[in-house]
Structure 1
Amino acid sequence: MPLIEKGRITEDRFHRVSDDDALPEGAPVLVGVDRFLKEAEALKSRQAPVGVIWPNDRPIAEIEPYLGQLSLIALVFPSFRDGRAYSQARLLRERLGWSGPLRAVGNVLRDQFLLMQRSGFDQIEAIKEDDAKAFDEAVHRYSTFYQPATDERPSLLRQRLGRTARPE
């Protein structure tokens, strides 16, 4: 699957490794949550970046003690109708202070690209190659938003308050 990062198709440098496979030496790996939690201490001393695939049915607060040893967090969208990963992304960014790469994986559709970006995702595992063009169109389609989000674009209220605020 193509990986969209900052609106462009990019090479995925992380190797997805199943629970039973050996970890490639010196290469960035992306492992499932069960393997990560079971081998957290051993992975801490690894000389290459480690990422985790975090399911949306697991409390995101459980990841907090491990944030310092992670280079990537991938949140799972098992169905396009299941939006729990959006909430996890916002919690990671706003409450837990995660500033590293945040990837959307699973059933990711073009219609969701803008909301994913606004929720804090900076990488999206897309289904099709031409999704990168659709991503660029989606994130530039609107210039004003009612809701505040993690993407730091001011909401309409913040824009209005900024214009009407008087200097002290």
Structure 2
Amino acid sequence: MASIIKNRAIVNDDWTLVRPAEDGSLPAVNELPAGKIIVPLAFWQAERDALSASRGAAELGVWLAPDSEPADIAGDFDKLAVIAVDFPVFRDGRGYSIGRLLRERYGYKGELRAIGDVLRDQVRLMLRCGFDAFAVRADKDISDAIKAFDDFTVQYQGAFDEPAPLFRRRAASASSSAASQKVSA
């Protein structure tokens, strides 16, 4: 069984990612593997009712390609346990925006997983965009990738994980310290 990083821990991955065959075809709903599956957005849109009838929400996930529109899945959050975002190559950063949109604009609260060409250099930034699970590329060391979360102790910019930029956090800290000094004086 493959492993992923989830909530900053290495865990067994019990999900099967369904990708199109080389000719672009996908299996029929009744030919899908047993257990928990993550299907492409287009497959979900075409077979939503059949998939929902054959499996519960706890066993269904959808993955978005870099050119997918997150709004297309926003009404289905209650039917899905996982939303994955595909990073097909290292240099394609559109998935970061998809992650932030899902979390901040559409309010997605479930597991948000990065899949594809996921490397150590990216996981910390993906976390800042709202991802909480990472399927590190198979030829990379997942134990090394998890160390990326501790590479930096202070974040300057605001992001999903820390909305206030550093200067605002420092100003708030300074004003609360000044207020507590006035109270004790």
TM range (shorter): 0.7 to 0.9
* Partner in structure 1 of residue 32 of structure 2: 23
Cα shift readout 1:57-116 (whole Å, capped 9, x = no counterpart): 121111112112111011011111110000000000011000100111111121111101
Which structure would you say has the larger Rg? 2
* Partner in structure 2 of residue 152 of structure 1: 162
Q: Which residue type is aligned with residue 135 of structure 2?
A: E
Q: Look up the SS of the partner of 2:127 in the other structure.
A: helix
> Is 1:56 aligned to residue 66 of structure 2?
yes
Q: Look up the SS of the partner of 2:86 in the other structure.
A: strand
Q: Look up the SS of the partner of 1:138 in the other structure.
A: helix
Contact between 2:5 and 2:146, CA under 8 Å: does it hold in 1? no
Within a 5 Å distance, the mapping from 1:95-110 to structure 2 comes to 95-110=105-120
CA RMSD after TM alignment:
2.2
Q: Look up the SS of the partner of 2:131 in the other structure.
A: coil
The alignment of Structure 1 onto Structure 2 pairs a total of residues equal to 167
**Could you tell me the percent identity over the aligned residues?**
37
What is the TM-score of this pair, normalised by structure 2?
A: 0.80
Q: Which residue type is aligned with residue 40 of structure 1?
A: R
Cα shift readout 1:26-75 (whole Å, capped 9, x = no counterpart): x2111112211111122233235200111111211111121121110110
Instruction: Describe the shift of the 1:17–1:112 C-alpha distance in structure 2 as closer, same or farther (beyond 3 A).
Output: closer
Contact between 1:4 and 1:125, CA under 8 Å: does it hold in 2? yes
Contact between 2:119 and 2:140, CA under 8 Å: does it hold in 1? no
- Determine which structure has the larger helix proportion and give its number: 2
158-167 vs 106-115, which deviates more?
158-167
> Is 1:89 aligned to residue 99 of structure 2?
yes
| Unmatched tracts of structure 2, length 5 or more | 20-25, 181-185
Q: Which residue type is aligned with residue 80 of structure 2?
A: L
Higher relative contact order (CA 8 A, sep 6+): 1
- Alignment partners' CA distance in 2, 1:89 and 1:57: 13
| Unmatched tracts of structure 1, length 5 or more | none
